[in-house]
Copies of this chain bind each other. A is one copy, B any other.
Amino acid sequence: MSMSKTIEEQVHDLGRQALAASRRLALLAEADKNRILLTMAKELERRIDTILEANAKDVEAAGKSGLTSAMIDRLRLNPERVAAIADGIRQVATLPDPVGEILEGWGRPNGMRIEKKRVPIGVIGIIYESRPNVTSDAAVLCFKASNATILRGGSEAFHSNTAIAAALQEGGASAGLPEHSIQLIPFTDRESVKHMARMDQYLDLIVPRGGKGLIETVVSLARMPVIKHYDGICHTYVDKDADLAMAKEIAVNAKTQKPGVCNALETLLVHQDVAEAFYADGGRALLGAGVELRGGDDVRAALGDVVKPVTDKDWTEEYLDLILAVKTVDSFEEAVEHINTYGSHHSDCIVTNDAATAERFLNEIDSATVFWNVSTRFSDGEEFGFGAEIGISTDKLHARGPMALKELTSYKYLIRGDGQVR
Protein backbone atom coordinates (compact mmCIF):
# COMPACT_ATOMS: atom_id res chain seq x y z
CA MET A 1 0.00 0.00 0.00
CA SER A 2 1.39 3.36 -1.02
CA MET A 3 1.54 5.90 1.77
CA SER A 4 0.00 8.49 -0.53
CA LYS A 5 -3.36 6.77 -0.13
CA THR A 6 -5.81 8.20 2.37
CA ILE A 7 -6.74 6.20 5.45
CA GLU A 8 -10.14 5.57 3.91
CA GLU A 9 -8.56 4.18 0.74
CA GLN A 10 -6.24 1.97 2.74
CA VAL A 11 -9.11 0.59 4.83
CA HIS A 12 -11.10 -0.03 1.64
CA ASP A 13 -8.15 -1.91 0.16
CA LEU A 14 -8.22 -4.19 3.21
CA GLY A 15 -11.97 -4.68 2.71
CA ARG A 16 -11.61 -5.59 -0.95
CA GLN A 17 -8.80 -8.01 -0.18
CA ALA A 18 -10.77 -9.60 2.67
CA LEU A 19 -13.78 -10.15 0.42
CA ALA A 20 -11.59 -11.90 -2.15
CA ALA A 21 -10.04 -14.02 0.61
CA SER A 22 -13.48 -14.92 1.97
CA ARG A 23 -14.41 -16.56 -1.35
CA ARG A 24 -11.37 -18.82 -1.12
CA LEU A 25 -11.89 -19.49 2.58
CA ALA A 26 -15.46 -20.67 1.94
CA LEU A 27 -14.08 -23.54 -0.13
CA LEU A 28 -11.42 -24.75 2.34
CA ALA A 29 -11.86 -28.28 3.68
CA GLU A 30 -11.97 -28.91 7.44
CA ALA A 31 -8.67 -30.83 7.42
CA ASP A 32 -6.95 -27.95 5.66
CA LYS A 33 -8.26 -25.44 8.16
CA ASN A 34 -7.08 -27.56 11.08
CA ARG A 35 -3.63 -28.03 9.56
CA ILE A 36 -3.37 -24.27 9.08
CA LEU A 37 -4.41 -23.66 12.70
CA LEU A 38 -1.79 -26.04 14.08
CA THR A 39 0.88 -24.37 11.94
CA MET A 40 -0.20 -20.97 13.25
CA ALA A 41 0.12 -22.19 16.84
CA LYS A 42 3.58 -23.54 16.18
CA GLU A 43 4.72 -20.34 14.47
CA LEU A 44 3.40 -18.24 17.34
CA GLU A 45 5.47 -20.26 19.80
CA ARG A 46 8.52 -20.13 17.55
CA ARG A 47 8.31 -16.33 17.54
CA ILE A 48 7.86 -15.95 21.28
CA ASP A 49 10.94 -13.70 21.66
CA THR A 50 9.83 -11.36 18.88
CA ILE A 51 6.34 -11.17 20.36
CA LEU A 52 7.61 -10.45 23.87
CA GLU A 53 9.97 -7.77 22.54
CA ALA A 54 7.10 -6.08 20.70
CA ASN A 55 4.98 -6.35 23.83
CA ALA A 56 7.73 -4.79 25.95
CA LYS A 57 7.62 -1.72 23.69
CA ASP A 58 3.87 -1.42 24.23
CA VAL A 59 4.17 -1.89 27.99
CA GLU A 60 6.94 0.71 28.21
CA ALA A 61 4.91 3.24 26.24
CA ALA A 62 1.83 2.48 28.35
CA GLY A 63 3.77 3.17 31.53
CA LYS A 64 4.94 6.50 30.17
CA SER A 65 1.47 7.50 29.00
CA GLY A 66 0.05 6.87 32.46
CA LEU A 67 -2.20 3.83 31.88
CA THR A 68 -3.51 2.28 35.12
CA SER A 69 -1.76 -0.81 36.45
CA ALA A 70 -4.91 -2.86 35.67
CA MET A 71 -4.74 -1.75 32.03
CA ILE A 72 -1.03 -2.48 31.84
CA ASP A 73 -1.68 -5.92 33.29
CA ARG A 74 -4.23 -6.62 30.55
CA LEU A 75 -1.68 -5.52 27.99
CA ARG A 76 1.29 -7.46 29.32
CA LEU A 77 2.38 -10.78 27.77
CA ASN A 78 4.76 -13.33 29.26
CA PRO A 79 5.84 -16.79 28.09
CA GLU A 80 2.85 -18.42 29.82
CA ARG A 81 0.37 -16.05 28.20
CA VAL A 82 1.86 -16.61 24.75
CA ALA A 83 1.69 -20.36 25.35
CA ALA A 84 -1.97 -19.95 26.36
CA ILE A 85 -2.69 -18.13 23.09
CA ALA A 86 -1.10 -20.98 21.14
CA ASP A 87 -3.07 -23.54 23.19
CA GLY A 88 -6.24 -21.62 22.38
CA ILE A 89 -5.51 -22.03 18.66
CA ARG A 90 -4.94 -25.77 19.12
CA GLN A 91 -8.24 -26.03 20.98
CA VAL A 92 -10.08 -24.33 18.08
CA ALA A 93 -8.51 -26.91 15.76
CA THR A 94 -10.26 -29.66 17.78
CA LEU A 95 -13.72 -28.08 17.49
CA PRO A 96 -16.08 -29.47 14.85
CA ASP A 97 -16.29 -27.42 11.64
CA PRO A 98 -19.75 -25.80 11.50
CA VAL A 99 -19.57 -24.99 7.78
CA GLY A 100 -21.41 -27.23 5.33
CA GLU A 101 -23.93 -28.67 7.79
CA ILE A 102 -27.35 -29.25 6.21
CA LEU A 103 -29.71 -27.56 8.68
CA GLU A 104 -32.94 -28.62 7.00
CA GLY A 105 -34.07 -30.24 3.79
CA TRP A 106 -37.50 -30.75 2.28
CA GLY A 107 -39.31 -31.31 -1.02
CA ARG A 108 -42.06 -29.22 -2.57
CA PRO A 109 -45.15 -30.36 -4.48
CA ASN A 110 -43.63 -29.20 -7.79
CA GLY A 111 -40.74 -31.61 -7.30
CA MET A 112 -38.02 -29.13 -6.40
CA ARG A 113 -35.91 -30.02 -3.37
CA ILE A 114 -34.79 -27.33 -0.88
CA GLU A 115 -31.76 -27.56 1.37
CA LYS A 116 -30.75 -25.02 3.99
CA LYS A 117 -26.98 -25.18 4.35
CA ARG A 118 -24.68 -23.55 6.88
CA VAL A 119 -22.10 -21.28 5.22
CA PRO A 120 -19.57 -18.71 6.48
CA ILE A 121 -20.73 -15.16 7.16
CA GLY A 122 -17.98 -13.74 4.94
CA VAL A 123 -15.92 -10.83 6.24
CA ILE A 124 -15.99 -9.95 9.94
CA GLY A 125 -14.52 -6.82 11.50
CA ILE A 126 -13.30 -7.08 15.08
CA ILE A 127 -12.68 -3.87 16.99
CA TYR A 128 -11.10 -4.39 20.39
CA GLU A 129 -9.15 -2.80 23.18
CA SER A 130 -6.01 -3.54 25.11
CA ARG A 131 -5.76 -7.36 25.40
CA PRO A 132 -3.39 -8.55 22.64
CA ASN A 133 -4.62 -12.15 22.93
CA VAL A 134 -7.88 -11.05 21.20
CA THR A 135 -5.87 -10.67 17.96
CA SER A 136 -5.40 -14.42 17.89
CA ASP A 137 -8.50 -15.64 19.78
CA ALA A 138 -10.96 -13.75 17.55
CA ALA A 139 -9.13 -14.28 14.27
CA VAL A 140 -8.76 -18.05 14.63
CA LEU A 141 -12.35 -18.59 15.76
CA CYS A 142 -13.61 -16.60 12.75
CA PHE A 143 -11.20 -18.50 10.51
CA LYS A 144 -12.41 -21.90 11.74
CA ALA A 145 -15.86 -20.88 10.48
CA SER A 146 -14.18 -19.88 7.15
CA ASN A 147 -14.56 -16.13 7.65
CA ALA A 148 -12.00 -13.50 6.72
CA THR A 149 -11.23 -10.98 9.46
CA ILE A 150 -10.14 -7.38 9.63
CA LEU A 151 -8.77 -6.66 13.07
CA ARG A 152 -8.57 -3.22 14.65
CA GLY A 153 -6.85 -3.49 18.02
CA GLY A 154 -6.21 -0.82 20.61
CA SER A 155 -3.38 1.57 19.81
CA GLU A 156 -1.71 0.76 23.16
CA ALA A 157 -1.20 -2.86 21.99
CA PHE A 158 -0.15 -2.02 18.45
CA HIS A 159 3.31 -3.63 18.44
CA SER A 160 2.04 -6.76 20.22
CA ASN A 161 -0.91 -7.13 17.85
CA THR A 162 1.31 -6.64 14.80
CA ALA A 163 3.72 -9.34 15.95
CA ILE A 164 0.91 -11.80 16.74
CA ALA A 165 -0.92 -11.13 13.47
CA ALA A 166 2.33 -11.62 11.52
CA ALA A 167 2.83 -15.02 13.17
CA LEU A 168 -0.71 -16.09 12.24
CA GLN A 169 -0.44 -14.75 8.68
CA GLU A 170 3.00 -16.11 7.88
CA GLY A 171 2.60 -19.37 9.79
CA GLY A 172 -0.79 -19.85 8.16
CA ALA A 173 0.49 -18.98 4.68
CA SER A 174 3.09 -21.74 4.87
CA ALA A 175 0.24 -24.23 5.36
CA GLY A 176 -2.08 -22.83 2.68
CA LEU A 177 -3.95 -19.95 4.39
CA PRO A 178 -5.37 -17.79 1.58
CA GLU A 179 -3.70 -14.38 1.40
CA HIS A 180 -5.54 -11.60 3.26
CA SER A 181 -7.62 -14.02 5.34
CA ILE A 182 -6.47 -12.27 8.52
CA GLN A 183 -5.59 -8.59 8.26
CA LEU A 184 -4.69 -6.11 10.95
CA ILE A 185 -5.34 -2.42 10.33
CA PRO A 186 -1.72 -1.26 10.02
CA PHE A 187 -2.01 2.05 11.85
CA THR A 188 -3.53 3.33 15.07
CA ASP A 189 -5.46 6.30 13.75
CA ARG A 190 -8.96 6.39 15.25
CA GLU A 191 -10.37 7.37 11.86
CA SER A 192 -9.99 3.76 10.73
CA VAL A 193 -12.85 2.69 13.04
CA LYS A 194 -15.18 5.10 11.25
CA HIS A 195 -14.21 3.81 7.81
CA MET A 196 -14.57 0.18 8.88
CA ALA A 197 -18.02 0.87 10.31
CA ARG A 198 -19.24 2.42 7.05
CA MET A 199 -17.70 -0.16 4.72
CA ASP A 200 -20.80 -2.35 4.34
CA GLN A 201 -19.92 -3.24 0.77
CA TYR A 202 -17.13 -5.44 2.20
CA LEU A 203 -17.89 -6.14 5.86
CA ASP A 204 -20.81 -8.44 6.71
CA LEU A 205 -20.53 -8.00 10.48
CA ILE A 206 -18.69 -5.97 13.10
CA VAL A 207 -18.03 -7.31 16.58
CA PRO A 208 -16.80 -4.70 19.06
CA ARG A 209 -15.02 -6.32 21.99
CA GLY A 210 -14.48 -3.90 24.79
CA GLY A 211 -16.18 -1.41 27.07
CA LYS A 212 -19.50 0.32 26.67
CA GLY A 213 -17.91 3.42 25.11
CA LEU A 214 -16.36 1.41 22.29
CA ILE A 215 -19.61 -0.47 21.62
CA GLU A 216 -21.63 2.76 21.59
CA THR A 217 -19.25 4.31 19.09
CA VAL A 218 -19.44 1.34 16.76
CA VAL A 219 -23.26 1.11 17.06
CA SER A 220 -23.63 4.79 16.18
CA LEU A 221 -21.41 4.55 13.12
CA ALA A 222 -22.04 1.09 11.73
CA ARG A 223 -24.04 0.47 8.58
CA MET A 224 -23.65 -3.33 8.80
CA PRO A 225 -24.91 -5.63 11.58
CA VAL A 226 -23.15 -5.28 14.93
CA ILE A 227 -23.25 -8.02 17.56
CA LYS A 228 -23.02 -6.36 20.93
CA HIS A 229 -21.64 -7.78 24.13
CA TYR A 230 -22.99 -5.24 26.57
CA ASP A 231 -22.97 -5.36 30.37
CA GLY A 232 -24.11 -8.26 32.44
CA ILE A 233 -26.37 -6.94 35.18
CA CYS A 234 -27.16 -10.43 36.45
CA HIS A 235 -29.67 -11.28 39.17
CA THR A 236 -30.29 -14.11 41.57
CA TYR A 237 -33.80 -14.27 43.00
CA VAL A 238 -34.21 -16.20 46.26
CA ASP A 239 -37.82 -17.38 46.14
CA LYS A 240 -40.00 -18.01 49.19
CA ASP A 241 -39.70 -21.74 48.44
CA ALA A 242 -35.92 -21.67 48.05
CA ASP A 243 -33.52 -24.08 49.71
CA LEU A 244 -31.74 -21.32 51.63
CA ALA A 245 -28.48 -23.22 51.96
CA MET A 246 -28.41 -23.69 48.18
CA ALA A 247 -29.34 -20.03 47.66
CA LYS A 248 -26.40 -19.02 49.85
CA GLU A 249 -23.98 -21.20 47.93
CA ILE A 250 -25.21 -19.99 44.55
CA ALA A 251 -25.16 -16.31 45.54
CA VAL A 252 -21.67 -16.50 47.06
CA ASN A 253 -20.39 -18.39 44.01
CA ALA A 254 -22.01 -16.11 41.44
CA LYS A 255 -20.70 -13.01 43.23
CA THR A 256 -17.24 -14.00 44.40
CA GLN A 257 -15.79 -16.74 42.20
CA LYS A 258 -14.75 -14.23 39.51
CA PRO A 259 -16.33 -10.84 40.17
CA GLY A 260 -14.82 -9.02 37.18
CA VAL A 261 -16.75 -10.88 34.46
CA CYS A 262 -20.10 -10.26 32.79
CA ASN A 263 -21.88 -13.32 34.19
CA ALA A 264 -21.11 -12.45 37.83
CA LEU A 265 -24.01 -11.60 40.14
CA GLU A 266 -24.75 -7.88 40.58
CA THR A 267 -28.19 -7.75 42.24
CA LEU A 268 -29.71 -10.18 44.74
CA LEU A 269 -33.51 -10.22 45.17
CA VAL A 270 -34.97 -11.97 48.23
CA HIS A 271 -38.63 -12.82 48.82
CA GLN A 272 -39.90 -11.15 52.01
CA ASP A 273 -41.09 -14.46 53.51
CA VAL A 274 -37.53 -15.79 53.69
CA ALA A 275 -35.65 -12.51 53.93
CA GLU A 276 -34.91 -12.63 57.66
CA ALA A 277 -33.68 -16.22 57.55
CA PHE A 278 -31.67 -15.70 54.36
CA TYR A 279 -29.94 -12.52 55.50
CA ALA A 280 -29.01 -14.13 58.84
CA ASP A 281 -27.15 -16.93 57.06
CA GLY A 282 -26.61 -16.12 53.36
CA GLY A 283 -26.23 -12.39 53.97
CA ARG A 284 -23.58 -13.02 56.60
CA ALA A 285 -21.81 -15.47 54.32
CA LEU A 286 -21.57 -12.83 51.60
CA LEU A 287 -20.18 -10.30 54.08
CA GLY A 288 -17.80 -12.95 55.33
CA ALA A 289 -16.57 -13.50 51.78
CA GLY A 290 -15.59 -9.84 51.63
CA VAL A 291 -18.59 -8.61 49.67
CA GLU A 292 -19.79 -5.05 50.21
CA LEU A 293 -23.59 -5.21 50.45
CA ARG A 294 -25.85 -2.29 49.48
CA GLY A 295 -29.45 -2.55 50.65
CA GLY A 296 -32.59 -0.84 51.87
CA ASP A 297 -33.60 -0.20 55.46
CA ASP A 298 -34.79 -3.75 56.08
CA VAL A 299 -31.51 -5.25 54.87
CA ARG A 300 -29.59 -2.82 57.04
CA ALA A 301 -31.85 -3.64 60.00
CA ALA A 302 -31.12 -7.33 59.50
CA LEU A 303 -27.36 -7.07 59.03
CA GLY A 304 -26.40 -3.73 60.53
CA ASP A 305 -24.65 -0.63 59.28
CA VAL A 306 -22.02 -2.72 57.53
CA VAL A 307 -24.64 -2.75 54.75
CA LYS A 308 -24.39 0.51 52.81
CA PRO A 309 -27.58 2.34 51.75
CA VAL A 310 -28.66 1.40 48.25
CA THR A 311 -29.76 4.01 45.68
CA ASP A 312 -31.71 3.60 42.43
CA LYS A 313 -28.45 3.90 40.51
CA ASP A 314 -27.32 0.59 42.00
CA TRP A 315 -30.01 -1.39 40.14
CA THR A 316 -28.40 -0.64 36.78
CA GLU A 317 -24.77 -0.82 37.87
CA GLU A 318 -22.38 -3.51 36.65
CA TYR A 319 -19.92 -3.42 39.55
CA LEU A 320 -17.48 -6.06 38.25
CA ASP A 321 -16.23 -6.00 41.81
CA LEU A 322 -17.01 -7.46 45.27
CA ILE A 323 -20.10 -5.26 45.64
CA LEU A 324 -23.69 -6.52 45.61
CA ALA A 325 -27.03 -4.68 45.56
CA VAL A 326 -29.67 -6.42 47.66
CA LYS A 327 -33.44 -5.95 47.61
CA THR A 328 -36.28 -7.58 49.49
CA VAL A 329 -39.27 -8.10 47.19
CA ASP A 330 -42.90 -8.59 48.16
CA SER A 331 -43.64 -11.18 45.52
CA PHE A 332 -42.45 -13.30 42.64
CA GLU A 333 -44.06 -10.77 40.29
CA GLU A 334 -42.04 -7.92 41.76
CA ALA A 335 -38.85 -9.92 41.21
CA VAL A 336 -39.70 -10.60 37.55
CA GLU A 337 -40.65 -6.96 37.00
CA HIS A 338 -37.42 -5.75 38.63
CA ILE A 339 -35.23 -8.05 36.53
CA ASN A 340 -36.96 -7.28 33.23
CA THR A 341 -36.84 -3.54 33.99
CA TYR A 342 -33.35 -3.00 35.42
CA GLY A 343 -31.43 -6.02 34.15
CA SER A 344 -29.40 -6.21 30.97
CA HIS A 345 -31.14 -9.37 29.70
CA HIS A 346 -27.92 -11.33 30.06
CA SER A 347 -28.16 -14.07 32.74
CA ASP A 348 -30.56 -14.39 35.66
CA CYS A 349 -31.31 -17.12 38.19
CA ILE A 350 -34.13 -18.24 40.46
CA VAL A 351 -33.47 -20.41 43.49
CA THR A 352 -36.62 -22.32 44.43
CA ASN A 353 -37.89 -25.81 45.15
CA ASP A 354 -41.23 -25.06 43.53
CA ALA A 355 -41.16 -26.31 39.93
CA ALA A 356 -44.19 -24.27 38.83
CA THR A 357 -42.62 -21.04 40.10
CA ALA A 358 -39.35 -21.95 38.41
CA GLU A 359 -41.03 -22.60 35.07
CA ARG A 360 -42.83 -19.25 35.28
CA PHE A 361 -39.49 -17.55 35.93
CA LEU A 362 -37.81 -19.36 33.00
CA ASN A 363 -40.70 -18.30 30.80
CA GLU A 364 -41.20 -14.71 31.92
CA ILE A 365 -37.64 -13.45 32.30
CA ASP A 366 -36.53 -11.91 29.01
CA SER A 367 -32.83 -12.78 29.18
CA ALA A 368 -30.37 -14.68 27.02
CA THR A 369 -29.88 -17.34 29.69
CA VAL A 370 -32.27 -18.04 32.55
CA PHE A 371 -31.20 -20.41 35.33
CA TRP A 372 -33.10 -22.50 37.86
CA ASN A 373 -30.93 -23.45 40.85
CA VAL A 374 -27.66 -22.89 38.96
CA SER A 375 -25.05 -20.12 39.39
CA THR A 376 -25.09 -17.48 36.62
CA ARG A 377 -21.34 -18.07 36.26
CA PHE A 378 -22.28 -20.95 33.92
CA SER A 379 -23.36 -18.47 31.24
CA ASP A 380 -20.31 -19.22 29.14
CA GLY A 381 -19.57 -20.92 25.81
CA GLU A 382 -17.13 -23.42 27.34
CA GLU A 383 -19.58 -24.33 30.11
CA PHE A 384 -22.33 -24.80 27.52
CA GLY A 385 -20.03 -27.21 25.66
CA PHE A 386 -19.52 -24.91 22.67
CA GLY A 387 -15.75 -24.61 23.06
CA ALA A 388 -14.23 -21.17 22.63
CA GLU A 389 -16.59 -18.21 22.33
CA ILE A 390 -16.19 -14.76 20.85
CA GLY A 391 -18.33 -13.25 23.62
CA ILE A 392 -21.78 -13.29 25.23
CA SER A 393 -24.24 -11.50 22.98
CA THR A 394 -26.83 -9.27 24.61
CA ASP A 395 -28.57 -8.90 21.24
CA LYS A 396 -31.66 -10.81 20.27
CA LEU A 397 -30.96 -11.13 16.57
CA HIS A 398 -28.70 -13.77 15.01
CA ALA A 399 -26.81 -14.61 18.20
CA ARG A 400 -28.08 -14.42 21.78
CA GLY A 401 -26.01 -15.51 24.75
CA PRO A 402 -22.70 -17.35 24.24
CA MET A 403 -21.52 -16.69 20.68
CA ALA A 404 -19.32 -19.50 19.42
CA LEU A 405 -18.54 -21.14 16.08
CA LYS A 406 -22.11 -21.76 14.92
CA GLU A 407 -22.98 -18.13 15.59
CA LEU A 408 -20.11 -17.16 13.28
CA THR A 409 -21.96 -18.69 10.33
CA SER A 410 -24.87 -17.79 8.04
CA TYR A 411 -26.85 -20.12 5.77
CA LYS A 412 -28.07 -20.29 2.23
CA TYR A 413 -30.79 -22.19 0.40
CA LEU A 414 -29.85 -24.65 -2.35
CA ILE A 415 -32.70 -25.65 -4.66
CA ARG A 416 -32.37 -28.50 -7.13
CA GLY A 417 -35.00 -29.23 -9.79
CA ASP A 418 -35.58 -30.33 -13.36
CA GLY A 419 -36.92 -27.29 -15.14
CA GLN A 420 -39.56 -25.93 -12.72
CA VAL A 421 -41.17 -22.64 -13.80
CA ARG A 422 -44.08 -20.62 -12.37
Contact at A397–B370, with CB atoms within 8 Å?
no
Does the CB pair B422–A378 fall under 8 Å? yes
24 contacts between A and B (CB under 8 A): A27-B363, A108-B383, A122-B366, A204-B397, A225-B395, A249-B421, A253-B422, A258-B422, A358-B416, A362-B414, A367-B412, A368-B412, A370-B412, A370-B413, A370-B415, A373-B416, A373-B417, A374-B416, A375-B422, A383-B422, A384-B413, A397-B398, A397-B410, A398-B398
Name the one of B340, B378, B400 contacting A410, with C-beta atoms under 8 angstroms: B400
Which B residues lie within 8 Å of A410 (CB)? Answer: 396-397, 400
Residue A83 interfacial (CB < 8 Å) = no
Closest to A340 in B: B23
Whether the Cβ atoms of A378 and B415 lie closer than 8 Å is yes
Contacts of A363 in B (CB 8 A): 27
User: Which A residues from 219 to 243 make CB contacts under 8 A with B?
Assistant: 219-220, 223, 225-227, 243
Q: How far is the CB of A72 from chain B (nearest CB, A)?
A: 28
Pairwise interchain contact B114-A397, C-beta atoms closer than 8 A: no
- Please indicate the chain B residues that have their CB under 8 angstroms from the CB of A375 in the complex: 420-422
Separation of A410 and B340 alpha carbons in the complex (Å): 17
Interface set of A (CB-CB < 8 Å, partner B): 23, 26-27, 106, 108, 112, 114, 119, 121-122, 200, 204-205, 219-220, 223, 225-227, 243, 246, 249-250, 253-254, 257-258, 340, 358, 362-364, 366-375, 377-378, 383-385, 395-398, 400-401, 410-422
Q: In the complex, what distance in Å separates the CA atom of A253 from the CA atom of B422?
A: 7
In chain B, what residue has the closest Cβ to A337?
B23
The count of identical subunits is 2
Contact A114 B373 (CB under 8 A): no
Q: Indicate if the CB atoms of B106 and A385 lie closer than 8 Å.
A: yes
Taking the closest CB of chain B, its distance from the CB of A422, in whole angstroms, is 5
Q: Which 9 residue pairs of A and B lie closest in terms of their CB atoms, listed nearest first? A: A253-B421, A374-B417, A398-B398, A396-B410, A397-B398, A369-B413, A225-B397, A246-B419, A377-B422
Measured in the bound complex, the distance between the Cα atoms of B375 and A78 in whole Å is: 59
- With contacts A257-B421, A412-B368, A421-B375 taken as known, whether A397 is within 8 angstroms of B400 at the C-beta atoms is no
Shortest distance between the CB of A408 and any CB in chain B (Å): 11
